[in-house]
Amino acid sequence: MATEPAAMAATATAVAIQGVGRWVSVDVVMMTSVVRWAFDDALRVGPMESDVRRRTIGVRLSAYVASRRIAVAWCALADRSRQTGGSAVAGHWVMTDTDVRALLGVFERCEPAADDDIFYADVLTRLRELIPCVDISFQLMDVAEERLRVLFVTDEGIQREESVGRTDEFLELFWREFWEEDGCAGPLATGDYSTLLHQAEIWGDREYAQTPLGSMFAAEGLKDEILLPMTPLGGIDRRLLLWRDANSPVFSEREKAMLALARPHVAELHVRRDRELRGEPNLTPRQWEVLRQVASGASNTQIARALGLSEATVRKHLENVFLRLGVQSRTEAVARVLAFLDAA
């Protein structure tokens, strides 16, 4: 067994524990960093000091995989700046197999509630049930045009909003403060699209409530916020937002860890939804490869040779493609996807 620290994004740290057998990977969010531990079911790892530092953060972790559960405990001490919360953190979370199954269940069924919805409302609803909050929002934002599209779920159900420009008091304040310290630029300002942002860590409750934007949120009864950034798609900022009110506790470390694990799945689902809205067929990468070969005029034998497959496998891929596209021939299949072949 060996350890190998590796640099990830500017705000993340990856530590991999190498072992044998089936691998389990866990993303742990601590303050402003993400530490990833990968380990085998039977492997037990004792306390270990990471030699990777960011903003003088020292991390001591102990991890083990026991029967039917994954547990990670940590103690993190930091001389943090005001931007990272200004406090040391010590905590413990255990993610059981029930937690993992529940998280996977969030993404099992994905159907838009309306034909033009930007995301899947049923996914947001199930995630809100797993991690309770007063509001969960999937947001698309074009900052240059000051355009917002939001699909959100509250106790009142599924709701949608779309705006361009500063059409009311809130939007005037939102865009005016956007690039300021209390604003919502977040990952756009730092270029970091991998780190979960937790308002309670960045600001104290009273401190944020005294800022222009924070005071407006406080007036609405909102106390704590989680922002899950995603890499922009086609120049459009994408983010998932969860809010809690003054009657609820702040988001816990366990909940943030679960959201960090959910983030790439949410991003991938949005790519899928974006393709659906553009009319692009939902095919696997291999099926797209086969169709590109078909579009070039290649026979099954030539496709098999080019992709390192058997002819029987090529035929099976084409059968599945025909079924998904609702077509009966190679010519119909190519005509159906021709506009998307370069982008897929």
**pLDDT tens, position by position, 114-167:** 999 999 999 999 999 999 999 999 999 999 999 999 999 999 999 999 999 999
Higher pLDDT, 47 or 330: 330
Distance CA 83, CA 101 (A): 35
Distance CA 231, CA 239 (A): 9
- CA-CA distances (angstroms) from residue 12 to 5, 52, 71, 177, 200? 11, 10, 20, 27, 20
Q: Is the pTM of this model over 0.85?
A: no
What percent of the chain shows pLDDT beyond 70?
71
> What is the per-residue pLDDT across 306-317, written as a single tens digit (0 to 9) for each?
999 999 999 999
Classify 72 as helix, strand or coil.
strand
Q: DSSP secondary-structure letter at 133? A: -
Distance CA 124, CA 165 (A): 26
Domains of the chain and any CATH numbers:
3-95 (no CATH), 107-277 (3.30.450.40), 285-340 (1.10.10.10)
Average pLDDT over the chain reads 76
> What is the per-residue pLDDT across 239-250, written as a single tens digit (0 to 9) for each?
999 999 989 999
